[in-house]
Each structure stands twice: as structure tokens, then as C-alpha cells.
């Protein structure tokens, strides 16, 4: 017996009554089939619905062999009457995302001829893959047109045309279709073969916002959000921007320029600090001139500072210079240098003995070790006695 698909009769149906046809244990708890349901099964890029059946949790819904299977956390008695309730906020969110995707895909297809070749509704993001490349200016224009369609509050039209009529309809589809084909139309914007649930009017979508576009195969992948999801994300982003604008004493629409100025100032300060640090390293290296092999432990050095100190000492000490920075608890970064030397064998032995990793040129290596200061000292004392 085919389940009566109430979600096609009324996509806004939140609750319904039905009879249990079967209940069998399955991988996801209990597989329950009803004579009628408003739970949409996963398909067409849209996740399956969740909710309850007479208080029993429905964790997912799938279609198997023409039957709509509700994955339930507890068994239900075959023949029993049940009351179904959808997680409506979740379903409506999915309808907003799905219908918003149709608007964007229809506009892109009509204006640029690109196909929607991939669509995914995740818990956090919606992605659409298009078969061609879109410029930032084109994306802004597409987004504006999609939102204009939302503001016009266009009614959705659902039809099941016969085979002959279907041939005359310029609908979008990823594959050749036969049999009963369900066409979802937003007049003037999109015509698409689709099995999913949709809003009844575009105004219910509320908002479409594209957040990113990246190269994907021969085309692009968009990340977008619609409806409440888009509003919540934009509200959170605005809160973050307010905090940044307050910290930088900049207007909300001028934070990017304020951040650029702050980064420029930071870069200049870092350059001045590095120059002063290099002068200190040069003075420190002069004090080690002619000392031979040198082992140094310095606090708080970056890999670049390690390199500069190693360079300075290497050219003056007349031997091998090893500089370590870190702690016994967190490990040490290192730089080992020897003017005209070959440190490859030493580096191999050091990394093995001190649980390290790293490498570089024969005369200059950098890396890190997970060993104590005393273990490092013992290793180099042993090397110096060879």
C-alpha cells in the first residue's frame, strides 16, 4: 500500500493523524510505515523530516521501495492510530532554503545558461554548484533579482503535466524524467522538476544571501543562507562588527579600512621590533665570537627570530650554533647552523634522540623537539665529545 503523501497536499501541515501499517526493528531504531504522513522523506537535496508519532521521537524519514519509512526511537503497534507532529521550525527552515535555492538557480540558468549540478542543505550552510563561472558583479545582480522576487510575493505553482505537455515546458532537471513528473514553478523566475517541499509564496522565504563563491571543477560553488537562518547569521556578524568598530573607534561601515590601518601599523611596529631584535642578536653574537660550538636557550623566540639569531652567531662563533626556544612542558623550537658545515647526519640523530622533526639546508636546519632542556644539553655535550 502506497503511503498517502500529505506533504504534497499541504506543505504547511504540521500535525496529522494516521494508522501504523508496520513496525520492524532496523539499524536506526524502529522502521515505521504509516498509511498517511506529513513527514517528508530525504530526497532532492532536502533532508528528511523529524518530529514525533504519538510522543515517540522520529529521528529521520526516508523512502524505501515506494514506502515512506519513519525512523523511530521506540516501537509502535501495527494497526494503532497515531498522531504525528513535525519539528515545524526545522521543516519551514528547509522549505525556505530549498525555495531560495530554486530562485537563484532559475535566475542563473535563465541569464547565463549555467546548470545547477550540485545542491546540499547542511545543518549550517546551503551550497549550490553551478556549471559555469560567475563574477562578483554577476552574483550581486543575481542575489538582488532573487530578493526582488521574494518581495513580489510570487505564488508557487505545483503541477503534474502529462507527457505531451511536459515536452513543451522549459523546466530545469539534472536528468531525463519519465512517468509522473512534479513541476515546481515560481512564475517569471524558475521552472524546475522537484520532489521537495516548498513555500506557498516567495515572501515566506524572507531573504536570500550569498556568503561565498569559490572555484569548483569547471564552475563555482556558492555558500548561501535563506530566511531566518540568513537573518540570524547576519545579526551575529553585525554584532561582531559592532564590537570591532567600537574597539577601533570606526563607524560600522568603515571597519575594513580601520582594520587595514591597524594591520599596517602593526606591520610597521613588528618591523621596528625585528630591527631592534636583530641589533641585540648582533651584539650577543659578538660576545660569542671565536667560542666554537655554542648551545643557547632563549625565551619567546619566533621561528624567524631563531633564524636571525642563528645566522648572527654562526658567522662569528667559528663552530656550530644551536639555538632553542620553548619549555620542557611544551617542547622547543630549534635552529642549528654551521658556516660551511654539513648538519644532515647530526639533524637526523638529534630528531631521533629528542623526538624531533625538521630539516633544511646542509648548513642550516630548523624544527622542533619534544624533550627537556637537560636532554638537549646532554645530546650536544655528547656530540661535542665526538
> What pLDDT was estimated at residue 201?
98
> What pLDDT was estimated at residue 74?
98
> What pLDDT was estimated at residue 2?
81
What is the rounded average pLDDT of the residues 358-369?
95
Percent share of the chain, pLDDT over 70? 100
pLDDT in tens, 179-194: 789 999 999 999 999 9
> What are the beta bridge partners of residue 369?
332, 356
What is the rounded average pLDDT of the residues 164-183?
86
Range 4-86: architecture per CATH: Beta Barrel (2.40)
Residue written as cell 509564496?
A: 201
Q: Mean pLDDT across the chain, nearest whole number?
A: 95
- Are 4-86 and 92-235 in the same CATH fold? no
pLDDT in tens, 203-231: 999 999 999 999 999 999 999 999 999 99
pLDDT in tens, 292-315: 999 999 999 999 999 999 999 999
CATH for the stretch 286-385: 3.10.310.40
What is the rounded average pLDDT of the residues 85-91?
98
pLDDT in tens, 303-349: 999 999 999 999 999 999 999 999 999 999 999 999 999 999 999 99
- Quick one: fold of 92-235? 3.30.980
Evaluate whether 177 touches 160 at the Cβ level (below 8 Å): no
> What are the beta bridge partners of residue 58?
51, 72
Return d(Cα 22, Cα 35) in angstroms, integer: 9
Query: Which helix (H) or strand (E) is 320 found in, with range?
Result: strand 320-327
Return d(Cα 99, Cα 90) in angstroms, integer: 14
Q: Evaluate if residue 75 carries a pLDDT over 80.
A: yes
> What pLDDT was estimated at residue 386?
78
> What pLDDT was estimated at residue 175?
72
> What pLDDT was estimated at residue 187?
97
Q: How confident is the model at residue 256 (pLDDT cuts 50, 70, 90)?
A: very high
DSSP line for 137-187: HHHHHHHHHHHHHHHTTPBPEEE---HHHHTT---B-SS---SS--EEEET
Q: How confident is the model at residue 178 (pLDDT cuts 50, 70, 90)?
A: confident
* Domain parsing of the chain, residue ranges: 4-86, 92-235, 286-385
What is the rounded average pLDDT of the residues 23-34?
96
Evaluate whether 4 touches 16 at the Cβ level (below 8 Å): no
Percent share of the chain, pLDDT over 90? 92
> What pLDDT was estimated at residue 227?
98
Residues in the chain: 386
> What pLDDT was estimated at residue 349?
95
pLDDT in tens, 280-292: 999 999 999 999 9
> What pLDDT was estimated at residue 179?
79
Amino acid at each position: 500500500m502506497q503511503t498517502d503523501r500529505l506533504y504534497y497536499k499541504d506543505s504547511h501541515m504540521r500535525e496529522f493523524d494516521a494508522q501504523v501499517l508496520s513496525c520492524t526493528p532496523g539499524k536506526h531504531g524502529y522502521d515505521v510505515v504509516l498509511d498517511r504522513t506529513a513527514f517528508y522523506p530525504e530526497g532532492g537535496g532536502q533532508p528528511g523530516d523529524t518530529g514525533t508519532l504519538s510522543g515517540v521521537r522520529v529521528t529521520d524519514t526516508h523512502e524505501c521501495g515506494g514506502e515512506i519509512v519513519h525512523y523511530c526511537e521506540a516501537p509502535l503497534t501495527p494497526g494503532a492510530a497515531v498522531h504525528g507532529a513535525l519539528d515545524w521550525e526545522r521543516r519551514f527552515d528547509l522549505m525556505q532554503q530549498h525555495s531560495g535555492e530554486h530562485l537563484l538557480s532559475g535566475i542563473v540558468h535563465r541569464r547565463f545558461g549555467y546548470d545547477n549540478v550540485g545542491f546540499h542543505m547542511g545543518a549550517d550552510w546551503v551550497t549550490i554548484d553551478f556549471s559555469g563561472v560567475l563574477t562578483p558583479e554577476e552574483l550581486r545582480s543575481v542575489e538582488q533579482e532573487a530578493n526582488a522576487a521574494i518581495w513580489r510575493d510570487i505564488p508557487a505553482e505545483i503541477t503534474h503535466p502529462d507527457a505531451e505537455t511536459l515536452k513543451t515546458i522549459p523546466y530545469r532537471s539534472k536528468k531525463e524524467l519519465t512517468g509522473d513528473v512534479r513541476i515546481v514553478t515560481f512564475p517569471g523566475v524558475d521552472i524546475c522538476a522537484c520532489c521537495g517541499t516548498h513555500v506557498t509564496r516567495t515572501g515566506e522565504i524572507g531573504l536570500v544571501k550569498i556568503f561565498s563563491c569559490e572555484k569548483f571543477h569547471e564552475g563555482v560553488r556558492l555558500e548561501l543562507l535563506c530566511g531566518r537562518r540568513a537573518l540570524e547569521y547576519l545579526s551575529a556578524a553585525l554584532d561582531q562588527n559592532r564590537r570591532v568598530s567600537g574597539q577601533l573607534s570606526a563607524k560600522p561601515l568603515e571597519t575594513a579600512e580601520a582594520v587595514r590601518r591597524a594591520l599596517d601599523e602593526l606591520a610597521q611596529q613588528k618591523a621596528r621590533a625585528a630591527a631592534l631584535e636583530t641589533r641585540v642578536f648582533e651584539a650577543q653574537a659578538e660576545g660569542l665570537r671565536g667560542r666554537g660550538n655554542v648551545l643557547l636557550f632563549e625565551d619567546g623566540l619566533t621561528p624567524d627570530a631563531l633564524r636571525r639569531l642563528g645566522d648572527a652567531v654562526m658567522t662569528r662563533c667559528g663552530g656550530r650554533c644551536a639555538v632553542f626556544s620553548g619549555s620542557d612542558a611544551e617542547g622547543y623550537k630549534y635552529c642549528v647552523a654551521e658556516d660551511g658545515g654539513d648538519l644532515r647526519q647530526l639533524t637526523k640523530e638529534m630528531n631521533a634522540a629528542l623526538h624531533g622533526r625538521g630539516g633544511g639546508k646542509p648548513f642550516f636546519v630548523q624544527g622542533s623537539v619534544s624533550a627537556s632542556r637537560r636532554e638537549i644539553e646532554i645530546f650536544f655535550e655528547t656530540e661535542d665529545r665526538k
